Amino acid sequence: MINDERLIWFKGNIIPVEEAKVNVLSPTSQFGANVFEGLRAYWNKADEQLYIFKLEEHIDRLLKSIKMMRFECCYDADFLRQSVIDIVKANKYKEDIAIRQTVFMDGFGSWSSTSPTDMFIAPIAKGRQYPPEKIGIECCVSSWERISDKSLSPKIKMGANYMNSRMGQMEAMRNGYDSTIFLNDQGKVSEGPGSCIFIVRDGQLITPPVTASILESITRSTILDIARNDLALEVIERDVDRTELYIADEIFLCGSAVEIVPVISVDRLSVGNAEKGSMTTVIEKLYFDIVRGISAKHKNWLTSIYEI
Ligand code: PMP
C-alpha cells in the first residue's frame, strides 16, 4: 500500500498497518471466519474533539456475534472498548473516520475451529460514502435472496455474510444501478447489502422488523429512537412488500458507513419526485447533529477521544 501511514491495533500491539500480517492458512483467511463491527467517529471542530458514535452498542453487538459463532475470545467488553479508543487516539485524527474492529479465527485450524481468535482494529479517514452533490441513489430489487436465519444468519455480523451482499451489489452495478435492495425468503423487503431501509408512506415512517432477515442495525435503532422521541413522528416496524417500494413517498438506506442515503428510484420507478424527501431531510439533519456532537441531545451516545 502506498503512503498508508496508519497505525493499526493488531493482536495487542499498535503497529504500522503494513506490518500487520495474518496467516494465509488461518480460518479467517480461508473461510471468512471472522466477526466485525464498522464504527464511525466524527470530528467536531468547535469542540476540538473526535466523537465515536455508539461505541457501547457496537461492542455489545460484537460480543453477540462472537457468542453466536461460538468463538472462544478472551477479550472482555472493557478491553474491546478501550482498544478502539487507544488506536483512534494513537492515530491523532482530526477528521471524520471509519473504524473496522474484527475478531478473527487465527491459527491453522478449519472452518469449525473455535480458537485461537485474535483481533485487529483499523481506523481510516472517511468522509461520506456517496458524494454529497448526489441527491440520492438508484436501486434495483435484487434477484438474489437475502441470507436468512435458517442458513447464514444476517444477525451475525460475520465476514462471510458479505458474499451475499457482494452478489447483489455486483449485479446492481452491472445493470447500471448504484445499489440494491434484497427481499428475504418470505419475499418481503429485507435490507441493502450494507444498510437497513426505511420507507415513508402517507406520512408514516416504516421499516422492516428485526425478523425480516436484517442485521440489527445500530443506525436503524437510532433513527427509530429519534424519530419517535425527538421528532414525534409516526413510526412502525412491519413487513414491507416489494411493490410498496414502487409507491413509497420517500425511501432511504441507513448504516454506520452509508449514514443516511436517499433512494430516488427503485427498478427505474421514481420514488416520490426523485428528490430527498422532507421526512428524510429532517431525520438526516438531526442524525448528523447528534453524531457530530452539535446537538445537545444524546451526548451520552458519544465517546470523546481526546482529553480537553
Ligand atoms: N445491514 C447490513 C448488512 C450491514 O452491513 C450494515 C452495516 N453494518 C447495516 C445493516 C447497518 O448496520 P449499522 O447501522 O449497525 O451500521
Q: Does 45 fall in a domain?
A: yes
CATH classification at residue 92:
3.30.470.10
Residue 121 and residue 144 in one domain: no
Residue 149 and residue 267 in one domain: yes
Residue 162 and residue 118 in one domain: no
Which residue in the list 54, 157, 188, 276 is annotated as catalytic?
Answer: 157
pLDDT at position 85: 98
Residue 118 and residue 144 in one domain: no
Atom 11, ligand 1: residue with shortest CA distance: 255
Q: What share of the chain is helix, strand, coil (3-state, %, to 5)?
A: 30, 30, 40
Q: Does 132 fall in a domain?
A: no
Residue 113 and residue 151 in one domain: no
Ligand 1 mutation target, pool 100, 217, 225, 252, most atoms within 8 A of CB: 217
Atom of ligand 1 nearest to the CA of 220: 14
- b/e for 154-185, b at 16 or more Cβ within 10 A? bbbbbebbeebbebbbeebeeeebbbbbbbbe
CA distance 228 to 239: 19
Q: Count structural domains, the chain.
A: 2
Q: Does 109 fall in a domain?
A: yes
Atom of ligand 1 nearest to the CA of 161: 3
Residue 143 and residue 116 in one domain: no
Q: Does 303 fall in a domain?
A: no
pLDDT at position 2: 53
For 59, the domain range is: 3-125
Tell me the CA–centroid distance for residue 74 and ligand 1, in Å.
25
Residue 203 and residue 97 in one domain: no
pLDDT, block means (10 residues), the chain with 308 residues: 81 97 97 98 98 98 98 96 98 97 98 98 93 91 98 97 98 98 98 98 98 98 98 98 98 98 98 96 98 96 94
pLDDT at position 256: 98
pLDDT at position 4: 80
Residue 190 and residue 232 in one domain: yes
pLDDT at position 1: 46
Pairing mode, strands 97-105 and 49-53:
unpaired
Residue 143 and residue 121 in one domain: no
Residue 12 and residue 119 in one domain: yes
Q: Does 302 fall in a domain?
A: no
Residue 69 and residue 156 in one domain: no
**Is 157 labeled as catalytic in the residue annotation?**
yes
Residue 177 and residue 112 in one domain: no
